[in-house]
Every structure is written in C-alpha cells, then in structure tokens.
C-alpha cells in the first residue's frame, strides 16, 4: 500500500506460495536481540537494509533471507529488547537504502488487525520519526498491522518532518497475493508460480480484494468458487491466527512475501525494470494496486483494469472500510 499523489498503494505479485505456517519459527542463527551489522561475503557492493523488529516471528526468517540476498551488502537488525532506545535506533537507521518494519504485536484469535492499533500505531510512529531523521531517502516497507492505518501514520510523520516522498513509502500487502496465487493454483491444479492473481485495496478483511476475473493464465470459476476463493483470500490471515491458537500470526509466509517485495524494491533501486508490483489510484489517498518500481521507488502506476459486477461491489465495500482506517491513522499521527 502506498500513497502516490492523488492516492494509491502497493503490493507485489509473489511467485511461490508458503502460506499457512502453524508454528512460530525458531531459527538457528536468528538475529541476536542486540543490533548487529553483517556484511555480505566479499564486501561486494550492494544496498544497506535495516529491519526494525528483527527478533520477532517475521523478523527472524526475514533477516536470514535478506542476508542471503546478493543485492544486500549491509544488514542492520534492530529490536527493542536489549536496547536503550533512540540512540540505538539512529545507529540502526543511518545510511540505509531500505528499511523494513515488521515491529509490533501480532493478533490473537478473536482479534481484528485494527485491535492492534493502540500498540502498533505508536511503535510505527516512533520508528518513522527515526527514519525521517536518519535515512529520509530510504525506501520504507511497512509490515506492522493494521497496515491500512500504519502506512497513513508513516506518511503523516514524514510529511511533518518534510521528508515525505510518496514513491518511497510502501505498505506490504503481498502476502495476500501469495495466498491468492496458492489458493487459485490449488483449485486449478497448477504450480502457484505459474498463477498471477491481482489483489488490490488494502490488507484487512473486505479491503483485500482479489480480482479473480483478471487471473493469468485466464480461467473461469463458478460463482460459488468465486465466493469461496474471495472469502478464503480475505480471511487467510485469520485462518493462520486461529491455527496458531494464541502463538501469533503468519511468520514464515510473511517473511517470504516481505523478501520478494524487498527484493523488487532493491532491483528497482538498482535500475532493473520490474513490472510485477501493484499500486493504483482511486479517490482514496492509499490503495493497493499494480505499479512499476524503479530508482526512486514507485515510478509508474498501472490502471486497475476491467472489473466485473461482483468485484465492483467488493471495491465499494473495500473503499469504505479503507477510508475509515486511513482517517484513523491520519488522526492518530496528528493528535
Ligand atoms: N503485512 C502483513 O501481511 C503482515 C503479515 C503478518 C504479520 N504482520 C504484522 O507484523 C507484525 C509483527 O508480527 P510478528 O509475528 O513478527 O510479531 P512478534 O511479536 O513475533 O515480533 C515483533 C517484533 O517487534 C519487536 N518490537 C516490538 N516493539 C518494538 C518497538 N517499539 N521497536 C522496535 N521493535 C519492536 C519485538 O521485540 C519483536 O522482535 C504484527 O503487527 C503483525 O500483525 C503483518
Ligand atoms: O492476520 C494477521 O493478523 C497477520 C497478517 O496480516 C496476515 O495476513 O497473515
């Protein structure tokens, strides 16, 4: 999700699926609770990346996967425990090209993502104040929920600091695309890597809007299949939260989605063309859709494309809920 002039957002089509992860990861070699700095082997030139919330369920596998990315030469892992606060945050952020934020609390069964607002809004605000100060030109990938509100909070913080560049702030909704590709591939009997399902809107409930009429390769579903698939994609996160029964939300699949997204951002920074990203304009200030990433972040926004009647009705519902979540984030940041 990302704002762009009149209003848009972003996510990336994932090519592989690894969605339901019932157990929180306990990775060997996970980032220490202290900030660490690691250089890629051989000190090869590359980008500087910070992960804020690196010791968490997402942060651990995400850190390992980013360390394996040849485009990353410096990786800073920041967390709260063991740190004395702002001074260490500044050290973690200074000079970064890309900052990924999976910091914050996850849901428990029975909660909505919006129920996380009271804790996570403040966390994201503080971290973004650090970004505005220490690496104002960095691309920022916001994972912390509720993404529909935390991205507007980040935008407001950057606006206040005079550093806001809508091309460089992106909410990560790619897990919805990973899930959509997986569920559709399951029904079609395809490899999920061969399936391309656009998912637009936001990252919560009805704001997650799969455009099943635009699937590639083209295919057709019955109206029952469409209703089932749409609901499963919209509720994939809740399915994981319930399966984990109090032990958090999606972690490995999110790390996978975040790495695909971050890699697209880094390849854009390097100047590679990448037209697999989502972003789009509606009358809303933030709305996930398809974009092209480049040296400055989002460089081109693709149109939503033709939507059918079912999708148009879904779009209206999505916009209504998204508008309220955006407003909530903006009000929080300005109070
Ligand atoms: N965008 C998505 O698709 C998506 C998918 C899955 C999870 N999430 C969200 O990601 C967030 C993290 O999930 P998780 O499972 O990794 O949670 P977790 O509790 O396992 O890890 C959170 C991490 O954030 C750190 N943290 C907490 N407060 C902090 C602060 N003030 N500054 C810096 N770090 C701080 C914690 O110490 C921990 O390392 C949650 O808000 C969750 O809802 C988003
Ligand atoms: O569902 C959650 O709370 C986490 C995440 O947003 C997800 O979609 O898995």
In a domain, 21, yes or no: no
Does residue 333 surpass a pLDDT of 90? Answer: yes
| Domain shared by 321 and 310, yes or no | yes
Distance 288 CA to ligand 2 centre (A): 16
DSSP 54: T
- The overall average pLDDT reported for the chain is 85
Does residue 162 surpass a pLDDT of 90? Answer: yes
In a domain, 193, yes or no: yes
In this prediction the pTM is 0.88
**Cβ neighbours of residue 90 under 8 Å, at least 6 residues apart?**
130, 133, 134
Q: What angle do CA 139, 107, 322 make, to 5 degrees?
A: 60
92 labelled as ligand-binding? no
Task: State residue 290's pLDDT score.
Answer: 83
In a domain, 22, yes or no: no
Distance 39 CA to ligand 2 centre (A): 31
Collapsing DSSP to helix, strand or coil, 117 comes out as helix
Instruction: Summarize pLDDT for 4-13 with one digit per residue, the tens.
Output: 333 323 332 2
Active site residues: 203
Residue 57 main-chain phi, psi, to 5 deg: -60, -40
In a domain, 19, yes or no: no
Both structure tokens of 112: 């909505």
| Domain shared by 79 and 100, yes or no | yes
Both structure tokens of 75: 């990786």
CA nearest 198: which of 113, 275, 102, 271?
275
Both structure tokens of 316: 């209206």
Of the candidates 149, 171, 193, which is a domain's last residue?
A: 171
| Domain shared by 306 and 220, yes or no | yes
| Domain shared by 197 and 321, yes or no | yes
Alpha-helix residue ranges (DSSP H) falling in the chain: 59-67, 86-93, 117-134, 147-161, 174-188, 223-234, 236-244, 252-270, 309-334
For strand 297-301 and strand 288-294, is the pairing parallel, antiparallel, or unpaired? antiparallel
Both structure tokens of 287: 């709305």
Task: Please identify, by atom number, the ligand 2 atom nearest to the C-alpha of residue 204.
Answer: 6
| Domain shared by 69 and 155, yes or no | yes
104 labelled as ligand-binding? no
Of the candidates 155, 171, 187, which is a domain's last residue?
A: 171
Minimal-distance CA residue to ligand 1 atom 10: 144
In a domain, 18, yes or no: no
β-pair partners for 199? 210
Does residue 250 surpass a pLDDT of 80? Answer: yes
Domain CATH code at residue 294? 3.90.110.10
d(CA 116, CA 151): 14
| Domain shared by 326 and 274, yes or no | yes
Phi-psi category of residue 163: left, alpha or beta, with phi > 0 → left and psi -120 to 50 → alpha: alpha
Minimal-distance CA residue to ligand 1 atom 40: 106
Instruction: Summarize pLDDT for 213-225 with one digit per residue, the tens.
Output: 999 999 999 999 9
Of the candidates 116, 141, 171, which is a domain's last residue?
A: 171
Does residue 111 surpass a pLDDT of 50? Answer: yes
| Domain shared by 181 and 274, yes or no | yes
What is the ipTM score, two decimals? 0.99
Distance 70 CA to ligand 2 centre (A): 28
Identify the residues whose C-beta falls under 6 Å from ligand 1: 52-53, 55-59, 79-81, 102-107, 116, 120, 123, 143-145, 147, 172, 175, 203, 248-251, 254
DSSP 265: H
For strand 288-294 and strand 9-12, is the pairing parallel, antiparallel, or unpaired? parallel
Secondary structure element (H or E) that encloses residue 113, with its range = none
List the domain range (segments joined by +) for residue 57.
38-171
| Domain shared by 204 and 327, yes or no | yes
| Domain shared by 180 and 311, yes or no | yes
Secondary structure element (H or E) that encloses residue 38, with its range = strand 36-39
189 labelled as ligand-binding? no
Instruction: Summarize pLDDT for 48-78 with one digit per residue, the tens.
Output: 999 999 999 999 999 999 999 999 999 999 9
| Domain shared by 151 and 120, yes or no | yes
249 labelled as ligand-binding? no
What total number of domains does the chain contain?
2
Does residue 259 surpass a pLDDT of 70? Answer: yes
Counting residues of the chain whose pLDDT is more than 90, the rounded percentage is: 75
Residue 83 confidence class, pLDDT cut points 50, 70, 90: low
| Domain shared by 234 and 118, yes or no | no
Distance 256 CA to ligand 2 centre (A): 13
Least confident window among 126-130, 148-152, 229-233, 284-288: 284-288
User: Closest ligand to 103 CA?
Assistant: 1
Minimal-distance CA residue to ligand 1 atom 14: 57
| Domain shared by 257 and 323, yes or no | yes
């Amino acid at each position: 999700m990302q704002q762009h002039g009149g209003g848009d957002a972003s996510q990336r089509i994932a090519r592989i699926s690894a969605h339901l992860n019932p157990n929180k990861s306990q990775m060997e070699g996970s980032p220490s609770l202290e900030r660490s700095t690691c250089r890629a082997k051989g000190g090869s030139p590359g980008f500087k990346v910070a992960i804020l919330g690196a010791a968490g369920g997402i942060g651990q596998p995400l850190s390992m996967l980013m360390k394996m990315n040849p485009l990353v030469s410096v990786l800073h892992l920041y967390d709260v425990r063991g740190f004395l606060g702002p001074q260490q945050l500044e050290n973690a952020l200074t000079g970064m090209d890309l900052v990924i934020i999976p910091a914050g609390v996850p849901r428990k069964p029975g909660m909505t993502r919006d129920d996380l607002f009271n804790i996570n809004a403040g966390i994201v605000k503080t971290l973004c104040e650090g970004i505005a100060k220490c690496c104002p030109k960095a691309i920022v990938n916001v994972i912390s929920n509720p993404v529909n509100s935390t991205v507007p909070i980040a935008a407001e913080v950057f606006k206040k600091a005079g550093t806001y560049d809508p091309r460089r702030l992106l909410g990560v909704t790619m897990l919805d695309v990973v899930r959509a590709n997986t569920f559709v591939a399951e029904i079609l009997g395809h490899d999920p890597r061969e399936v391309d399902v656009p998912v637009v809107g936001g990252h919560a409930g009805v704001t997650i809007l799969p455009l099943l009429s635009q699937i590639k390769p083209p295919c057709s579903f019955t109206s029952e299949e469409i209703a089932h698939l749409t609901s499963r994609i919209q509720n994939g996160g809740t399915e994981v939260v319930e399966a984990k029964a109090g032990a958090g939300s999606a972690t490995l699949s999110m790390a996978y989605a975040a790495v695909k997204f971050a890699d697209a951002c880094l390849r854009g920074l390097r100047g590679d063309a990448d037209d697999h990203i989502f972003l789009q304009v509606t009358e809303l200030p933030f709305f996930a859709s398809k974009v092209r990433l480049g040296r400055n972040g989002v460089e081109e926004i693709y149109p939503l494309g033709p939507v059918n009647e079912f999708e148009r009705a879904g779009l209206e519902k999505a916009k209504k809920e998204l508008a309220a979540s955006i407003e909530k984030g903006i009000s929080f940041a300005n109070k």
